[in-house]
Amino acid sequence: MNDYVIIPDVTCDLPKELRERFGIVDYVRSHLNLPDGTDIPSDLEWGYSNPTDFYKMMKNKKNVFSTSTPTPEDFIACWEKFLKEGKDIISVTISSALSGSYGFSCKAKEMLDKKYPERRIVCIDSLRYSTAFGVICCYAGEKRLNGATFDEVVSWINENKNCFHQMGPMEDLYFLARKGRINNFKAFMGTLVGVKPCGDFNNDGMTTVLYKPKGQEATYNFCIEYIRKTIIKPEEQYIFISNTARKEQAEELSRRIKEAFNPKEVFVVDVQPACGINVGPGLYAAYYYGNKIEDDMAYEKQVVSEITKQ
C-alpha cells in the first residue's frame, strides 16, 4: 500500500487530467494580484480567465500582474488533511533560485513535525520551474503508482532532477527585462530584430541562454538538434511542451519531436498564471530527460558549438 502522497506547488503547471493520470492528488496554491489590485487564489484550473485572454491582457504592458509565494500556512492547509489520513508527504517546489516556496515549505514541515511526529515530510527543491518541475512530479507519481517506496521516490528525484532539460525560445523579452533577468536595451533589440533566445537549465535552478537563432525555421531546427544530442532513450520518455500563447508553435514543435524521436508520448500544456506572469507571451519549449547537466554546462555549450558549426 502506498501510504504517501506527492504534492507540488502551483508552479508545476500540470492540468487536471495529467495530475489525475500520474496520481498527483493535490497541490499548494498561491495568490494572484490582478491589474486592478484584486487578490485572488492562483490555481491550475484557469478559473480567472483562459490562456488566450490572459496572455492577450499581458501583451498590453499597462496590465501588471503579480503573484505571492505560498506561505507556511498555505502549505499546512494543503498537507494537513493527508497527515490526518495517515499519509506521509513528499513536497516538491519550484527552484529556490526563483522563489521562496522551498524555504516556506521547510518552515511548514518544522511546524507539522511537532504536531504529527509519527508522520514523515520531505521537502525537495526541484531546481526547476513550470513544466520541467511538473515533469519531475509526473515521473515520481508514476513510480509511486507502480509500487516504489517513499524513500525510493525521494532518492530518485534528488538523483535525477538535474537530468531534466528545457529547450525552446522566448520570443518577447520584455517580461524577462521587467523581472530583472535581462537588461531593457537587450530586450528591446532582441525582440526588434527577431532574436529568439533558447536556453537550458543550469545546476543553480536558473536558465542559461545558450543560443539565439533568428527566424522560425532556424529555431525549430536548433531545438530538434539540441534535443537529439542531450536526450536519453527518447522512445521511453514522456516529453512535455509548454507554451504561453504560442499553441500553434508548440504543436509544430510537438510534431517534429514525434517525427524525430518517436517518444512514448508528448503532452502540450499551457503555462499557468503563477509562472506565466514572469515569462509573458512568447514561450514554447520542450522538457525532457537527458544527460545530467554539468556545473559549468560544458557539455551543453559544446553541443551548441557543434550544431552551429554544421
Single out the residue of 224, 202, 230, 201 nearest to residue 302, CA to CA.
Answer: 230
pLDDT of 60 reads 84
Split at pLDDT 50, 70, 90, the class of 206 is confident
| Rounded-to-integer distance, Cα 45 and Cα 121, Å | 26
Classified as helix, coil or strand, 202 is coil
**Residue 238 Cα to chain centre, angstroms:** 14
The DSSP element (H or E) to which 130 belongs, if any, is helix 130-145
pLDDT of 68 reads 87
Split at pLDDT 50, 70, 90, the class of 305 is very high
Say how many residues make up the chain.
Answer: 310
With contact defined as beta carbons under 8 Å apart, do 92 and 137 qualify?
A: yes
Q: Is the pLDDT of residue 62 over 90?
A: no
Residue type, 99: S
The DSSP element (H or E) to which 189 belongs, if any, is helix 184-192
**Long-range interactions of 79-84: CB distance < 8 A, separation 24+:** 79/7, 79/28, 79/108, 79/112, 79/121, 80/112, 82/5, 82/7, 82/25, 82/26, 83/112, 83/115, 83/116, 83/119, 83/121
Single out the residue of 175, 91, 104 nearest to residue 133, CA to CA.
Answer: 91
Q: Is the pLDDT of residue 188 over 50?
A: no
With contact defined as beta carbons under 8 Å apart, do 67 and 31 qualify?
A: yes
pLDDT of 193 reads 56
Residues of the chain with pLDDT > 90: what percent?
Answer: 69
Per-residue cell: 19? 495530475
pTM as predicted = 0.92
More confident residue, 142 or 177: 142
pLDDT of 177 reads 52
Residues of the chain with pLDDT > 70: what percent?
Answer: 92
With contact defined as beta carbons under 8 Å apart, do 69 and 297 qualify?
A: no
Over residues 3-25, the mean pLDDT reads 96
More confident residue, 146 or 39: 146
For the stretch 81-114, pLDDT in tens is 999 999 999 999 999 988 899 999 999 999 999 9
DSSP string, 90-117: EEEES-TTT-SHHHHHHHHHHHHHHH-T
* DSSP β-bridge partners for residue 90: 6, 122
DSSP string, 67-88: EEPPPHHHHHHHHHHHHHTT-E
Over residues 130-153, the mean pLDDT reads 97
For the stretch 21-37, pLDDT in tens is 999 999 999 988 888 88
For the stretch 152-164, pLDDT in tens is 999 999 999 999 9
For the stretch 252-301, pLDDT in tens is 999 999 999 999 999 999 999 988 888 888 899 999 999 999 888 999 99
Per-residue cell: 11? 508552479
